[in-house]
């Protein structure tokens, strides 16, 4: 991707190299964590940028972030604490973590946005992990890769090493009733389809009210509320990491029109799709409006 400059307030001024890749299923086995799950790792975007501005009040989003810094000066504020992103460490920020960013001096930053399987449960927060020689080597391979495919593999391996360094218990598997798991898998296969509670109950072999009770017990939401939240989460990925029109994104994730999309988006994220896009795409000069 051709590097671009950006005049957006708070955004990096120059992007050195960017890869956008989607991966198939990747296995991570953490024997010490009690986690032997298919993580379904998807790298949404990876960018290396030199920044002289990085000032955002809240960058909560429904995907993971991995940060590697080449110098001191970048800070995040989370849970009433200011955390310096020191260059000798790697930094993982879990989905839906509300954090602010600050910059005391110009730094070069590598960031990777990625998602994991819905069944992998995480604790929110800003997680510091060791930046090992192996991770440094894979980072160098990713940045210097001659093709997006080679770079994509290197970014995946880098992310997996970072996840594997998380403290025990940070990641876990959700143990779900098989009937609910069957419904979840069906919804995930085609989030945009016109699902109905009656059809989901039939799939689970239950009455609708019984499914609602069990589904809420297992996930914290009703089936249709879970589906709405999942559609909005996928929309966030597209708003941040694509240049598709908002109307097209609404249709792609299963909303009948932009009005209903915006209404639901605002209810769940306390902002509009357009405002979310403006904020998130201000993060890097490769983001297109």
Quick: pLDDT tens for 242-260: 889 999 999 999 999 999 9
DSSP tag of 33: G
d(CA 110, CA 67): 6
Residue 287: pLDDT band (50, 70, 90) is very low
Residue 150 phi, psi dihedral angles, 5° rounding = -65, -45
Q: Is the pLDDT of residue 27 over 60?
A: no
Closest CA to 74 of 44, 111, 45: 111
- Kindly report the length of the chain: 289
Q: What are the extents of the domains in the chain?
A: 14-173, 178-280
Place of tokens 């890749």: 21
d(CA 86, CA 75): 9
d(CA 16, CA 14): 6
At the fourth CATH level, the homologous superfamily of domain 14-173 is Jelly Rolls (2.60.120.10)
pTM reported for the whole predicted model: 0.79
d(CA 201, CA 263): 27
pLDDT of residue 282: 58
**Identical topology for domains 14-173 and 178-280:** no
DSSP three-state, residue 141 = helix
pLDDT of residue 152: 87
- Structure confidence by residue, pLDDT tens digits, 195-204: 999 999 999 9
Residue 93: pLDDT band (50, 70, 90) is very high
Q: Is 178-280 a domain of CATH 1.10.10.60?
A: yes
């Amino acid at each position: 991707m051709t590097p671009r400059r950006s005049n957006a307030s708070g955004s990096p001024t120059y992007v050195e190299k960017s890869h956008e890749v989607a991966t198939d299923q990747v296995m991570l086995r953490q024997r010490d964590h009690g986690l032997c799950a298919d993580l379904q790792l998807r790298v949404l975007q990876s960018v290396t940028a030199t920044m002289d501005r990085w000032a955002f009040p809240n960058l909560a989003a429904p995907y993971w972030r991995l940060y590697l810094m080449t110098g001191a000066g970048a800070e995040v504020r989370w849970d009433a604490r200011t955390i310096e992103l020191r260059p000798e460490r790697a930094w993982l920020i879990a989905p839906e973590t509300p954090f602010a960013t600050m910059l005391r001096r110009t730094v070069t930053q590598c960031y990777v946005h990625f998602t994991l399987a819905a069944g992998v449960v995480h604790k929110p927060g800003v997680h510091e992990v060791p930046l090992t020689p192996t991770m440094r080597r894979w980072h160098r391979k990713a940045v210097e890769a001659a093709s997006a495919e080679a770079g994509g593999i290197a970014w995946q391996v880098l992310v997996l090493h970072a996840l594997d360094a998380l403290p025990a218990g940070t990641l876990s598997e959700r143990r779900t009733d098989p009937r609910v798991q069957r419904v979840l898998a069906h919804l995930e296969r085609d989030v945009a389809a016109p699902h109905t509670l009656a059809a989901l109950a039939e799939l689970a072999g239950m009455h609708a009210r019984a499914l609602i009770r069990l589904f809420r017990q297992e996930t914290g939401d009703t089936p249709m509320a879970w589906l709405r939240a999942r559609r909005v989460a996928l929309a966030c990925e597209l708003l941040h990491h694509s240049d598709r029109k908002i109307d097209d994104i609404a249709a792609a994730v299963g909303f009948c029109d932009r009005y209903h999309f915006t209404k639901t988006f605002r209810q769940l994220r306390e902002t509009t799709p357009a405002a979310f896009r403006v904020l998130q795409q201000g993060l890097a000069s490769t983001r297109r409006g």
